[in-house]
Structures are given as C-alpha cells and as structure tokens.
Amino acid sequence: MAGNSVPRGLVLDYAGVLTEPDAGELLAAVAVLRARGVRTALLSNAPGAAPAARRELGAHFDALVFSGEVGVAKPAAEVYRIAAERLALPVDACVFVDDSRRNVDGAVAAGMTGVWHTGVPATLDELDALFPSG
C-alpha cells in the first residue's frame, strides 16, 4: 500500500469465503468496517452466483462485481481494477480476500493487499491488523 496507510477498501470473494458455515462472523466484521467508513465489495468468479449473492449479500456491500457480467475473471488484473473503481478507490487502497492463492497473487500483482483465506479466524486476525480500530 502506498505510504503504508490504512486501507480504505475491502474486496471479498464469494464462494469459498462467504459460503463458509461461519461466514456470518466475516459479515459482522464487514459491517463494523463499513460503519468506520471502509468501502466494501464482493468479487466473484462463481458462475450463476449473481442472483443468490445479490439477494443474500447485497446489503452488506457497496459494490458487487461478477466476472460473468464484467467479462473478465480473477486473476486478471483488470477485474481488481474494476472492483476498486466501483468503490471509487485506487487499487492500492484495497485489501482483497480469497481462498484461492492464485487469485490473491493476481490481486497483489494488480496493486491490492492480499489476504489468503484459509479460515474465518485467521482472516479476521488479518483484517484486524490491516484495519486497526485505533
């Protein structure tokens, strides 16, 4: 991140992150971050996920980006830029969370800070470190 500043955007994957049984804890963290002014986006390659994700998760995010709708998929750099643009933020002000190491590497190559999701507790710890409350 430019100048080691606190990020202002959080971009989360859908399938494999927000489909976990304890994903409610992540959504609670998203709500806290949004209340603190962090912009949030959902970014998904999952085919056919858009209708269910919009219905179930739309209220939790400032932007929803689906690869099938924008014509480019993770890990292509352009899809991360689209997500950042929809948040009205520079790419380097965003943190991206995904359970696919390849997709996290793509986000980092595009300029985002990457968090490889291996489980909700570890991801929450990473988000606490990246978005300090104080």
**Residue 3 confidence (pLDDT):** 46
**Rounded-to-integer distance, Cα 129 and Cα 123, Å:** 10
Determine the Cα–Cα distance for residues 118 and 17; give it in Å rounded to an integer.
9
Write the pLDDT tens digit of every residue in 77-123: 999 999 999 999 999 999 999 999 999 999 999 999 999 999 999 99
pLDDT at residue 1 is higher than 50: no
User: Tell me: the pLDDT tens digits for 26-83?
Assistant: 999 999 999 999 999 999 998 777 888 888 888 999 999 999 899 999 999 999 999 9
What predicted TM-score, i.e. pTM, was given to this entire model?
A: 0.94
Strands of 9-12's sheet, edge to edge? 63-66, 39-44, 9-12, 94-98, 113-116
